[in-house]
Structure 1
């Protein structure tokens, strides 16, 4: 058995929707095709593409978990028009794809479904829980082993669940009655080696499927338990670029890098869960199906950031040597100060997050009923829930290098900065009095939806072949009800250096070797256990004193949708046209910050962060979403498609009511806007497909999206309480903060996609695609998530015993959001992956998958309105991963 990947359309036009494959002869044949190898899978997939009346792509795993990828997002990166990202907030990039987006838009504009329904999702990283809270799904929760196929819709139909402005991804799992044999046992046992942490962890998955000979009852159970170690070396300019205020005209108004840090992130991820499915067919006309899924990602992590704190000295001290280029202090040396007040030239954050995790689960009950030869119904009720939890953050922020001096040199936007701190920086010399104790506690974000739907299909004879119609009701909630923002316990001796332990460890000796740059070495740190004890001794976590109301939010949406769709066709042509009407009723909950002792009626008191007023805003809207799709068979081998539609996406949860985040060091922050309108896009798509040889395809498509209500960011100045300054002054101190809030705007995206696929001889084959997107928001602003160029190249070899596949993917730079009120971008990057497989027996296959073989450095840069060009922002190296598996099937 070999490893294969087919990227093409899968005909689903005759079914009510794309839920899990029904027990039919077609499903049985599909299962047979899946095990025939790469070439057979491609051939059948391309045959199905000719028959589809809409523009879709499909990834079909030839066998469980045998793609050179370990979650669903990694499998999709090879499709034309698909982009992947490895993070969702400002946590920086990792080694595993986590988000999927289509055609140059951000991930929130791509709807992710499982078996045709929505899915609740969680995020393990705290900023994705209460900071940048989008509508995209974390694919880290969905291993590739659960997949039967994944359908990517690039054009819309009225019967598809709304929410994907750019398109939708439907992950389809297996059902018991589709298996060819009455008893199937399959799975894998293996290990993953991550070269940067130098660690190996176990991997396991198993599937049992039982059905009767009559194909009227079946049970499938699948479990997975996968661990892997992560280490990420990085450099970040956390504080962005500040402006010098100096009597020296050569320095006054010049930008400088603030909070320039050497960042070490370590984590062990444990993904556990499974799928269960019971399917019965009591009569020829009735099928009942219960499907359940659960996935838990345990994601304890420890992040250390050892930083140069330039804002503490650039305005009070003149560098002994420096260079200024284009308004930026690109190099500077600040000599040690021999007397006077101790100045912390550096600051060090150690943040341990034990218990961080995310979950996703659902359960559905489906009934498929053929009421007559001409009328079919599908009924579904379901519930889904996801959680993202950060129960504890053990944190110490402490000062470094008292009067020790500092220096840096910038090396262009594509290279890390060289920098150093003077003086002695050890666990015995740090400056707790120049730091803080922070970190939110008790966060548990809920993402849930309950729904019920009925879909019908009435068949006709003639040009109009069938009428689809249906109704869906759903209630969706995304909320976080609690957060404590710890601070120092002033009754303790937390500022006394003698109260702290010795160092528990040091950065690895090869830290930063993957990203370059001359940075401090031998950096010490406290262990997570030491940090937990430090916080237990010195932190104030009292409730309600430390209740952080800005992290508390909620969005409740009640959704009613009805649709009707005509399907039609004639000699050498087919298509559909329909309308979907959607009404959304939403209540948005957030807290308005007030001054202490504000006296405002209804205000809640007792928090050290000030009084606050719970606010509820209603935001209701209706949308009518038409769609039309046509397919024309111009010749036996040449197929043309054209489509037009309106699609919608509701605003991100954090855009509506996400937490207010403030930085007391830089006096910047971000907040939400509960009065945002949904994004409604007017779309056009046209494609031409030439099947010029068996298992061969040459295709081109063009598309446009006019985005009405695109959510952009605007900056406003709002006064908030400065917690650290207030404590130092002994009274309330309020400062002006530059806060970025979301606003409705407009945008557009135009693009082309090119696909080429062809066998070479009996054993070889290649697949290549390229996507170009030109996107912009109003005011010539960049469109979030738009990479102008994306291309993928894949080659394979297989014979009866051996198979190999190599994949190369490239994505050009794209706008990723706002950081410290500045636009920031991820630079272009490429990944190389490979798979090898050997069929030892009819029951056992050995496979080796290698990801990130080129060991890419992920680079980010910002743009500041005060200077031309771009400035370096962050650099990350994650290393390579190797998966060795023994796969069995009986």
Structure 2
């Protein structure tokens, strides 16, 4: 079905009376509408704190104006400023979040209460495709209630989009900005607009946004060894420089009718958001170990040295990464007898495509002098073989030119039907709110994990002729004399000579999965003097089929999870709240992990690929928090949590029934190398949060100051099948954020500092642990609201600065002394104007 046809159908159903939103969404939306210009930071924080205070679970909220006054490009940046949430970046840009130090897939994401699949592997939300402008508020639920998705193991992020009834009458907001990425002088653009109108019963909203960035990413990758005595050996040095063009686009709308009578609300909404990354790679690999081996020896140990023969490879690429999320919902709310009923029909689809054609030249030779005394800034000079005569790497002759293509894709499609009902009654002699509901999800995933093709490069294309002679823009030293190639022109010539660059999906990577999830829940909120208790359970029944490249080979399974929870909220004083809760959850395997396709070797009885027999990870745990609301826009809180996780998924080898892949081998024990269920794991932490406004304590002009700071201390571990123990991927031991801001007479300024220490990136096997080193960021923003209102419009001038300390990102294997990647991208500056009417 086409998007146009589908959207038309959904709108028609909405106007006829079918569809819905999250529990209490309108009430919550009304709570954080702010129309104050004198102190927007304070007022937006007060609104967010009010929502947190009135919640029935452990919750943090970012309001729209708070987001707008941070120098954030996407929602990952914004979420990373909350207690317990850390960011994972790609080339400096926030992409994923580690919610309380947990793996990516343990976070569920929703728009206006309707959960959607993640664009990464079907389960993992990628926040680089969600610009901050689309939101009215973001809710980060840390303790999950039964009406939330069971897949929210560590957290549930609900993105509330703008509703036309948030503003009475006509409302227009336009923002435009331009700037520069310091490294390479690339252009930055920020443009968004929103139009809404609401009357007594009808309202609509339209919005669109575009963020773009051109940047240079400076990259050094190293293959180093260090012996027990601390002596370093350099096996390989990899010098890369990327020219990157990134953009995210979002657009959508909302139409709503509020009739009189039992039906109080009928609406339809749609949102499309995408992220596009086009990159030109210029890369040289200098293989010292290979050169020494060709001479019948080994690399001489040492952080500095000269190698008379080094094998050289060159990789040139113009590739594209693209992911998108499209979600449309039709909804109806109404009071039918004693029950308030909400109905929702949602259609969602995601795409995630990677297209990397690489012109790969191998078999070049040179001599080289190296110095890795500073492992974060390796130095290398290139010479003609067996000499110290300088050599321009662009003149190296290669033994073979190869056409190397990497292709990955995954498309998901999901229909969701949800019905919720709520009523008041007396239970156990107490006023009680009863809420119950049912949800049916049907999902399909089609694609391939990662397909590779390597062949001879077209002889009619002269790679060397595409050398521009322009030296790399670099924050490191360009000691090799690297120059940029016209990778776009090279790709076009290659595609013309080869008749296209598409490749078929690899048989062992194909994904063909159908999944049905039926969920039902019942919960009650019983009120007592000084608080309430929320209790209930959710039941999720999962049925899936995953097929291999031969559709006759398919694996089906089903399972049922019962997920109880209880949350107790005590008002110790009017301004002091204590919460304690126990909850359960699960995390289903990603579609790449669950695929039935694999490389099968009946002779050795081995399989390498997906694992269709994976069990979901299941968890239970506790939360407790003490929250002191000592002023309307101020807060001091402390919290602690613990999660126990069974069947942690990681990459290893395990035993399976060979009959899954070869029917004649039924009952035989075969070895599968791929994703497996390990043993149990644990995740625990302590969170401290302070938000303070000087206006509550100090006289003018000092009353304009404010502080926001939070600290999270985490600990995690899981055991592999062989008994080795690792931390969970994504867990830093310490995370903290601090912001100092000042606002007065239309002027506001904010400086923000973020820090997280080292964390495990992946566990490929028991003997390899890859980590990201500690990261810190310093960002700043300025805002000034003009004292005049031309035509009744408010005008705000703004300036953003990111990565002011020019921080770099470092990844290492095993120990920080042997980094395998060092990446820099420079500072970013943006200036702009916003008009609100």
Given that 1:708 and 1:745 are in contact with CA atoms closer than 8 Å, whether structure 2 keeps it comes out as: yes
* SS class of match (2:437): strand
Rounded Cα–Cα distance in structure 2 between residues aligned with 1:426 and 1:408: 15
Q: Among 425, 432, 440, which residue is 1:465 paired with?
A: 432
The aligned residue for residue 299 of structure 1 is: 277
Rounded Cα–Cα distance in structure 2 between residues aligned with 1:460 and 1:419: 76
Asked whether 1:852 is paired with 2:803, we answer yes
Deviation string 1:489-530 (CA, Å, 9 cap, x unpaired) is 48x647xxx9544243256444242xx6x7422345343212
Given that 2:45 and 2:66 are in contact with CA atoms closer than 8 Å, whether structure 1 keeps it comes out as: no
Quote how far apart the aligned CAs of 1:114 are: 1.1
Given that 1:486 and 1:539 are in contact with CA atoms closer than 8 Å, whether structure 2 keeps it comes out as: no
Given that 1:34 and 1:62 are in contact with CA atoms closer than 8 Å, whether structure 2 keeps it comes out as: no
Given that 2:85 and 2:99 are in contact with CA atoms closer than 8 Å, whether structure 1 keeps it comes out as: yes
Rounded Cα–Cα distance in structure 2 between residues aligned with 1:178 and 1:506: 55
Asked whether 1:221 is paired with 2:206, we answer yes
* SS class of match (1:160): coil
Quote how far apart the aligned CAs of 1:479 are: 2.1
Quote how far apart the aligned CAs of 1:44 are: 3.7
User: Do the aligned partners of residues 432 and 171 (structure 1) sit closer, same or farther apart at CA in structure 2, a change above 3 Å counting?
Assistant: farther
| Stretch deviating more after TM superposition (297-306 or 832-841) | 297-306
Rounded Cα–Cα distance in structure 1 between residues aligned with 2:224 and 2:197: 62
Rounded Cα–Cα distance in structure 2 between residues aligned with 1:742 and 1:266: 37
Deviation string 1:692-730 (CA, Å, 9 cap, x unpaired) is 345322211111010111112225899xxxxxxxxxxxx
Q: Say which structure is richer in strand.
A: 2
* SS class of match (1:41): helix
The aligned residue for residue 735 of structure 2 is: 790
Rounded Cα–Cα distance in structure 2 between residues aligned with 1:319 and 1:420: 22
The aligned residue for residue 585 of structure 1 is: 543
* SS class of match (2:564): strand
Matches within 5 A, 1:56-455: 56-62=59-65, 65-86=68-89, 93-122=90-119, 133=121, 135-179=123-167, 181-212=168-199, 214=200, 216-237=201-222, 240=223, 257-286=234-263, 287-317=265-295, 322-323=300-301, 330-336=303-309, 345-353=311-319, 356-372=321-337, 374-390=338-354, 392-399=355-362, 401-402=364-365, 404-411=366-373, 415-423=376-384, 424-433=391-400, 435-441=401-407, 443-455=408-420
Rounded Cα–Cα distance in structure 2 between residues aligned with 1:389 and 1:407: 40
* SS class of match (2:266): strand
The aligned residue for residue 497 of structure 2 is: 537
Rounded Cα–Cα distance in structure 2 between residues aligned with 1:683 and 1:716: 28
Rounded Cα–Cα distance in structure 1 between residues aligned with 2:449 and 2:143: 40
The aligned residue for residue 717 of structure 2 is: 776
Rounded Cα–Cα distance in structure 2 between residues aligned with 1:780 and 1:394: 38
Structure 2 length-normalised TM:
0.85
Quote how far apart the aligned CAs of 1:481 are: 5.8
Deviation string 1:353-412 (CA, Å, 9 cap, x unpaired) is 15x42221111001111113x31110000101111234x53321113642x333444437
Rounded Cα–Cα distance in structure 2 between residues aligned with 1:332 and 1:483: 38
CA RMSD of aligned residues (A): 3.2
Given that 2:21 and 2:113 are in contact with CA atoms closer than 8 Å, whether structure 1 keeps it comes out as: yes
* SS class of match (1:393): strand
User: Do the aligned partners of residues 382 and 29 (structure 1) sit closer, same or farther apart at CA in structure 2, a change above 3 Å counting?
Assistant: closer
Matches within 5 A, 1:452-601: 452-461=417-426, 463-480=430-447, 485-489=452-456, 493=459, 499-506=462-469, 508-513=471-476, 519-523=479-483, 525-534=485-494, 536-537=496-497, 548-591=506-549
Moved over 6 A (4+): 318-321, 658-662
* SS class of match (2:45): helix
Task: Structure 2: state its 5+ residue gaps.
Answer: 1-19, 385-390, 601-606, 657-670
Rounded Cα–Cα distance in structure 2 between residues aligned with 1:242 and 1:701: 42
Rounded Cα–Cα distance in structure 1 between residues aligned with 2:597 and 2:359: 22
Quote how far apart the aligned CAs of 1:775 are: 0.5
* SS class of match (1:643): strand
Deviation string 1:260-310 (CA, Å, 9 cap, x unpaired) is 211112221232231200000122532001010112333222222211123
Rounded Cα–Cα distance in structure 1 between residues aligned with 2:802 and 2:402: 39
User: Do the aligned partners of residues 506 and 480 (structure 1) sit closer, same or farther apart at CA in structure 2, a change above 3 Å counting?
Assistant: farther
Asked whether 1:830 is paired with 2:771, we answer no
Quote how far apart the aligned CAs of 1:99 are: 0.8
Q: Among 866, 872, 887, which residue is 2:819 paired with?
A: 872
User: Do the aligned partners of residues 888 and 64 (structure 1) sit closer, same or farther apart at CA in structure 2, a change above 3 Å counting?
Assistant: farther
Quote how far apart the aligned CAs of 1:83 are: 1.1
User: Do the aligned partners of residues 20 and 365 (structure 1) sit closer, same or farther apart at CA in structure 2, a change above 3 Å counting?
Assistant: farther
* SS class of match (2:404): coil
Rounded Cα–Cα distance in structure 2 between residues aligned with 1:813 and 1:172: 32
Rounded Cα–Cα distance in structure 2 between residues aligned with 1:791 and 1:670: 40
Task: Structure 1: state its 5+ residue gaps.
Answer: 1-15, 87-92, 124-132, 245-249, 325-329, 337-343, 592-601, 603-612, 663-668, 719-736
User: Do the aligned partners of residues 467 and 648 (structure 1) sit closer, same or farther apart at CA in structure 2, a change above 3 Å counting?
Assistant: same
Structure 1 length-normalised TM:
0.81
User: Do the aligned partners of residues 533 and 716 (structure 1) sit closer, same or farther apart at CA in structure 2, a change above 3 Å counting?
Assistant: farther
* SS class of match (1:315): helix
Rounded Cα–Cα distance in structure 2 between residues aligned with 1:320 and 1:622: 57
Deviation string 1:414-465 (CA, Å, 9 cap, x unpaired) is 62433344323544433042x5321135x54202211101001111145242
Given that 1:20 and 1:115 are in contact with CA atoms closer than 8 Å, whether structure 2 keeps it comes out as: no
Give aligned pairs, total.
771
Given that 1:190 and 1:204 are in contact with CA atoms closer than 8 Å, whether structure 2 keeps it comes out as: yes
Quote how far apart the aligned CAs of 1:28 are: 4.3
Asked whether 1:684 is paired with 2:637, we answer no
The aligned residue for residue 809 of structure 1 is: 754
Rounded Cα–Cα distance in structure 1 between residues aligned with 2:710 and 2:596: 38
Rounded Cα–Cα distance in structure 2 between residues aligned with 1:758 and 1:259: 51
* SS class of match (2:559): strand
* SS class of match (1:38): helix
Deviation string 1:194-221 (CA, Å, 9 cap, x unpaired) is 1112022432111111111x2x110100
User: Do the aligned partners of residues 229 and 873 (structure 1) sit closer, same or farther apart at CA in structure 2, a change above 3 Å counting?
Assistant: same
Rounded Cα–Cα distance in structure 2 between residues aligned with 1:275 and 1:74: 22
Rounded Cα–Cα distance in structure 2 between residues aligned with 1:482 and 1:76: 29
Rounded Cα–Cα distance in structure 2 between residues aligned with 1:520 and 1:408: 10
Given that 1:21 and 1:174 are in contact with CA atoms closer than 8 Å, whether structure 2 keeps it comes out as: no
Q: Among 544, 555, 560, which residue is 1:622 paired with?
A: 560
